[in-house]
Amino acid sequence: MDEIFELLSAKNLETVWDETVVNRIPYAGEKLFGTSKQYDLTLSMFKGSKGLPVALKPSTFDAKATLRPRIGVSKLETEIPFFREAFKLTEKDRRQLVAFRASSPELFNSIIENIYNDSNNLVEGALAVNEQMRWSLLTDMAITVSSNEADYDYDFDPDNSWHTNNFVQLAGTSLWTDLVNSNPLEDLQEGIDSIANRTGETITKVYMNKVTFALLRQNKNIKDAITVNNNSFATVSKIRELLMSELGVTVELYDKQFQKTQDNGTLVSEKYLKDGFVVLLPDGQIGTTVFAYTPEEIDAAALENKGADVAVVETGVTLTSIIHEHPVTSEIICSELCLPTLEKADSVYVLKVTQTD
């Protein structure tokens, strides 16, 4: 095999990713959710908002996934979202690499490095959609994603019981945008007490982004509580101290973003944890990121007999390198089957502290 194709083998791309991931900061959702992997596409004992088992049944891969606005109480008839993208090294690209390898090794190495970055970006894209699904599930008990021209719509609260007990949309003078009349400490205390009374769980963490946190810094009741007790300004550290001393919770600020492709093909940045959402959580893992074996991973032996190369990173993200004989090209494919579950849904409390759009 030509050295260029060797450098672009899936096994080598796996090594490159493993070397890169050493410095990668995990997503917040990766810390909150455990990870599991299974061969079957059926998620047995999926836990809904009431802890009831929900059997997940697969649809066919070749058919476009149908939009299912509701999940049944006893079973879910839909497929785990399937994600797959690729990029290709063309014949022209390969000829340029051959030329640079002989005449300019530094330029050759630079181009190879760019290709490695492209491969890593595919893996990052898979991890990003996993994080998007986790926070969508956390804040709304629903997941809506698009994959390979297929739409997936999961509603894990079919009877609206979770939204009734665990989700509060503030209104009027209670909105945190009312910097004079709103009382965030009372709102948070009510959420903490609600979870404790219904589940026995102790809320220890509060997640919000910096835009939402800025409302606390400007809030009159928060500033009064800090200045009266400490004779100081409402700094980030003082607000953290106040919430810990008064409520026993740690504030986690989460502002990571991803790029989402719109219908017209343009990219727009979105936050995983959107403005105006406050998520109250107990200690420990609250859910599981469940992977299933991809078609490429299942058929790895057959693919490798035909000259392809398959490797798996991050538990369930499959990298496949395929050499095409005519035209002579190399294709890098990234795929995954993944869906998060929220076993501790009843112990998650969400405040929407700004007006709904």
Q: Is the pLDDT of residue 316 over 70?
A: yes
Residue with tokens 């050499």: 323
3-state secondary structure (DSSP) of residue 57 = strand
Segment 256-266 mean pLDDT: 81
3-state secondary structure (DSSP) of residue 104 = coil
- Which pLDDT does position 183 carry in this prediction? 97
Question: Sorting pLDDT into bands at 50, 70 and 90, what band is 205?
Answer: very high
Closest listed residue to residue 312, CA positions, set 126, 175, 131: 126
Q: Are 258 and 131 in contact (CB under 8 A)?
A: yes
The reported pTM is 0.87
Segment 295-320 mean pLDDT: 92
Question: Sorting pLDDT into bands at 50, 70 and 90, what band is 253?
Answer: very high
| Beta carbons within 10 angstroms of residue 265's beta carbon | 6
Tokens of 42: 């059926």
DSSP 300-349: HHHHHHTT-EEEEETTTEEEEEEEETTTTEEEEEEEEEEEEE-TTGGG-E
Q: Which residue has the higher pLDDT, 40 or 74?
A: 40
Q: How far is CA 70 from CA 22, 141, 209, 302, in A?
A: 40, 12, 29, 38
- Which pLDDT does position 239 carry in this prediction? 93
pLDDT per residue as tens digits for the range 92-101:
887 888 888 8
Number of H helices, E strands in the chain: 12, 18
Tokens of 340: 């998060």
In a domain, 136, yes or no: yes
In a domain, 37, yes or no: yes
Residue with tokens 């982004």: 209
Of all residues in the chain, the percent with pLDDT exceeding 70 is: 85
The CATH number for 72's domain is 3.15.30
- Which pLDDT does position 177 carry in this prediction? 98
The number of folded domains in the chain is 1
- Rounded Cα–Cα distance for residues 236 and 246 (Å): 15
Tokens of 250: 């740690």
Q: Are 253 and 210 in contact (CB under 8 A)?
A: yes
pLDDT per residue as tens digits for the range 207-244:
999 999 999 999 999 999 987 655 567 788 999 999 99
Nearest 5°: phi and psi at 243? -65, -35
In a domain, 201, yes or no: no
Q: Which residue has the higher pLDDT, 271 or 45?
A: 271
In a domain, 97, yes or no: yes
In a domain, 132, yes or no: yes
Please tell me the least confidently modeled range out of 35-49, 123-137, 167-181.
35-49
In a domain, 187, yes or no: no
Domain range spanning residue 7?
Answer: 3-158+304-335
- Rounded Cα–Cα distance for residues 73 and 53 (Å): 8
Q: Which residue has the higher pLDDT, 114 or 280?
A: 280
State the chain's mean pLDDT as an integer.
Answer: 84
- Which pLDDT does position 147 carry in this prediction? 57
pLDDT per residue as tens digits for the range 138-168:
999 998 876 556 677 888 888 899 999 999 9
pLDDT per residue as tens digits for the range 49-72:
444 333 333 444 554 433 333 333
- Which pLDDT does position 101 carry in this prediction? 86
Q: Is the pLDDT of residue 73 over 50?
A: no
Please tell me the least confidently modeled range out of 125-129, 247-251, 321-325, 326-330.
326-330
In a domain, 296, yes or no: no
Segment 120-137 mean pLDDT: 93
In a domain, 50, yes or no: yes
| Beta carbons within 10 angstroms of residue 28's beta carbon | 22
pLDDT per residue as tens digits for the range 8-21:
899 999 999 999 88
Closest listed residue to residue 61, CA positions, set 89, 81, 47: 81
